């Protein structure tokens, strides 16, 4: 197969200036008086090398700040590397930021036309594809409204539909599939599978390791702007988790005696984290509000997560999953920003997750929960196989998740 992308010794440097002058006069005075501040240097990428063959799907993983978005922007031609070179064969389309390139005062239809013309299509070609794009984005009722009135989900649907329907040789997607409901995410993944079946090439970044496992042939692991490995998905994810563990241990050692000593005893499973935000207790209640660990398939349950903070944190991310006793993930939901969902965090508090129905096969399951900083760079506290429950055969139903704080405010987070 032919190589569609070749990255050779690519590095990217940014200069961060302090006391930046706001006018030409201020700039001249600073230089004449010798007070010119050159600022600090930040290397977002360091000596990155890889190549990608036609028809392959490459995943790129790493914590926020590892250099993923910088690399994708360079691959799309949005900027030049400080050193090194990037060779491209064929048209590349990218969905890097929600609505990037959209003009807020233009309608969705007008932005669709602009995007098509910028991708090298004629007006007639864009008009021919327009109905299919609008239908895929599910924006028939809103396509003639200014995009400034769109929700983030509507932005994502339109941006993804435009990118994939203009038939690029290489499609680059940066995290945007984390936005929107699970139904539309599945629709996007099905469309990407069709795109791959047509012999096209994709590059995807995601914090959802299931997407990486399912969709990618190989995965690039970035850490502090450098390539740690380029391997099969399982090996790369193990490497990513190990880097997460190392960062967590390093941060925990720097905190010395500052962390909270929680009273939660680990009787089974394992626990890791810096404990800057600690999960003090996880309680499971049945549909009558009584503590329980035994349920029938299809019954509802409520999980209450009690937490404490070593000091006031501006925000954190929450993850909750249901796993079988053979470590098969049956369900997982996460909140990228507790502040955006629930408001300001208290030093001690609770989160509640209500599952209206659990269509699980009989057996033993575990509720695995974790708290992270919003950049997912290390772990505050994660409980693995510590909180067990058993399911007996009875009835089946749907499986939806509703998160809310105990104060009563809430939001539907996901459904599957």
Encode pLDDT of 16-36 as tens digits.
Answer: 766 665 676 666 666 666 665
Exposed/middle/buried for 274, CB within 10 Å: 0-12, 13-18, 19+? buried
Please tell me the distance from the alpha carbon of residue 288 to that of residue 380, in angstroms, as a whole number. Answer: 32
pLDDT at 242: 93
Cβ burial, residue 45 (10 Å; 0-12/13-18/19+)? buried
pLDDT range class, residue 405, cuts 50, 70, 90: very low
Whole-number pLDDT of residue 403: 47
* pLDDT of the residue at 266: 74
Rg (CA), the chain: 24
Considering only the C-alpha atoms of the chain, give the largest distance between any 2 of them, rounded to a whole number of Å. Answer: 82
Does domain 3-240 sit in CATH 3.30.450.40?
Answer: no
Quick one: pLDDT at residue 154?
A: 85
Dihedral angle computed from the Cα positions of residues 274, 276, 277 and 283, in that order, rounded to the nearest 10 degrees: 60
pLDDT at 394: 66
The two tokens of residue 28 are: 């001249």
Between CA 354 and CA 301 the distance in angstroms is: 6
Q: Which residue has the higher pLDDT, 211 or 133?
A: 133
- Give pLDDT tens digits for 161-192: 888 888 788 989 887 665 556 677 778 888 88
List, edge to edge, every strand of the sheet that includes 277-285: 277-285, 301-309, 348-355, 400-405, 410-415
pLDDT band per the 50, 70, 90 thresholds, residue 221:
very high
CA distance 178 to 125: 30
Residue 324 CB partners (closer than 8 Å, separation 6+): 330, 363, 364, 365, 366
pLDDT in tens, 355-394: 988 888 999 999 999 999 988 889 999 999 999 999 998 6
- Alpha carbon 252 to chain centroid, angstroms: 24
Residue 407 reports pLDDT greater than 50: no
**Between β-strands 92-95 and 170-174, what pairing exists: parallel, antiparallel or unpaired?**
parallel
Cα–Cα separations (whole angstroms), residue 322 to 23, 47, 71: 57, 40, 34
Per-residue confidence band for 257, with pLDDT thresholds at 50, 70 and 90: low
Could you tell me the pLDDT band of residue 128, with boundaries at 50, 70 and 90?
Answer: very high
pLDDT confidence tier of residue 206, bands split at 50, 70 and 90:
confident
Tell me, what's the pLDDT at 328? 87
Burial string for 172-200 (b: 16+ CB within 10 Å, else e) reads: bbbbbbebbeeebbebbeeebeebbeeeb
Question: Which pLDDT score is estimated for 19?
Answer: 61
User: What's the whole-number average pLDDT of the chain?
Assistant: 84
Is pTM, for the whole model, over 0.85?
no
Residue with tokens 């250099």: 67
What was the pLDDT predicted at 322? Answer: 93
The encoded tokens of residue 142 equal 């809103």
Q: What is the pLDDT of residue 334?
A: 83
Instruction: Output 319 or 396, whichever has higher pLDDT.
Output: 319
Mean predicted confidence (pLDDT) in 206-227: 90
Strand partners, 367: 322
Q: Where are the domains of the chain?
A: 3-240, 260-415
Residue 31 is predicted with a pLDDT of 66
What is the model's pLDDT at position 317? 93
Torsion (CA) 197, 205, 162, 135 in degrees, nearest 10:
70
Instruction: Say what percent of the chain tops pLDDT 70.
Output: 83
**Picking from 23-27, 78-82, 187-191, 251-255, which range would have the lowest pLDDT averaged per residue?**
23-27
pLDDT of the residue at 307? 94
Tell me the mean pLDDT in the region 399-404: 47
Q: Is the pLDDT confidence value at 404 over 50? A: no
Average pLDDT on 247-254 reads 89
Measured between alpha carbons, how far is residue 143 from residues 99, 130, 153, 278 in Å?
Answer: 14, 11, 14, 45
| Predicted local distance difference test score (pLDDT) of residue 74 | 93
Both structure tokens of 128: 């021919």
Of 39-43, 367-371, 399-403, the poorest mean pLDDT is in 399-403
| Distance (Å) of CA 136 to CA 107, 158, 192 | 17, 8, 13
Whole-number pLDDT of residue 406: 38
CA dist., res. 197 & res. 367, Å (int): 36
For residue 413, the model assigns a pLDDT of 40
d(CA 40, CA 37): 9
The separation between CA 227 and the C-alpha centre of its own chain, rounded to angstroms, equals 19
Lowest-confidence range among 127-131, 132-136, 204-208, 369-373? 204-208
Task: Calculate mean pLDDT across residues 306-330.
Answer: 91
pLDDT band at residue 283 under the 50/70/90 scheme? very high
**Burial (0-12, 13-18, 19+ Cβ within 10 Å), 280:** middle
Q: Say which CATH architecture domain 260-415 belongs to.
A: Distorted Sandwich (2.70)
Q: Quote the pLDDT of residue 211.
A: 83
Pairwise CA distance, residues 373 & 391, whole Å: 33
């Amino acid at each position: 197969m032919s190589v569609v992308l070749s990255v050779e010794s690519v590095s990217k440097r940014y200069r961060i200036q302090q006391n930046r002058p706001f006018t030409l006069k201020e700039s001249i005075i600073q230089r004449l008086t010798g007070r010119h501040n050159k600022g600090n240097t930040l290397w977002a990428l360091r000596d990155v090398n890889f190549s990608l063959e036609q028809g392959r799907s490459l995943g790129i993983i790493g914590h926020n700040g590892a250099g993923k978005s910088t690399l994708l922007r360079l691959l799309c031609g949005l900027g030049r590397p400080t050193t090194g070179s990037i060779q491209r064969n064929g048209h590349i389309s990218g969905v890097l930021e929600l609505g990037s390139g959209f003009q807020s005062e233009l309608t969705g239809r007008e932005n669709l036309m602009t995007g098509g013309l910028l991708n090298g299509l004629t007006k007639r070609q864009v008009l021919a594809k327009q109905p299919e794009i609008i239908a895929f984005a599910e924006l028939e009722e809103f396509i003639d409204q200014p995009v400034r009135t769109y929700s983030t989900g509507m932005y994502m649907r339109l941006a993804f539909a435009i990118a994939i329907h203009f038939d690029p040789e290489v499609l680059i997607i940066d995290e945007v599939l984390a936005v929107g409901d699970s139904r539309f995410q599945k629709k996007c993944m099905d469309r990407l599978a069709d795109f791959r079946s047509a012999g096209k090439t994709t590059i995807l970044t995601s914090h959802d390791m299931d997407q990486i496992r399912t969709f990618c042939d190989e995965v690039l692991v970035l850490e502090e702007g450098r390539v740690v490995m380029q391997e099969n998905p399982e090996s790369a994810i193990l490497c990513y988790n190990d880097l997460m563990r190392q960062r967590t241990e390093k941060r925990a050692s720097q905190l010395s005696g500052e962390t909270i000593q929680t009273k939660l005893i680990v009787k089974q499973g394992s626990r890791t984290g810096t404990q800057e935000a600690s999960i003090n207790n996880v309680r499971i209640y049945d549909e009558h509000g009584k503590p329980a660990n035994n349920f029938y398939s299809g019954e509802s349950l409520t999980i209450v997560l009690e937490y404490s903070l070593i000091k006031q944190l501006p925000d954190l991310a929450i993850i909750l999953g249901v796993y079988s006793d053979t470590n098969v993930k049956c369900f997982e939901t996460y909140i990228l920003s507790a502040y955006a969902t629930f408001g300001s965090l208290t030093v001690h508090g609770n989160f509640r997750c209500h599952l209206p129905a659990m269509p699980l096969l009989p057996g033993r399951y575990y509720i695995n929960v974790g708290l992270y900083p919003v950049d997912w760079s290390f772990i505050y506290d994660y409980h693995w196989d510590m909180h067990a429950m058993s399911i007996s055969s009875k009835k089946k139903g749907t499986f939806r998740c509703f998160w809310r704080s105990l104060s009563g405010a809430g939001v539907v987070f996901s459904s599957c």
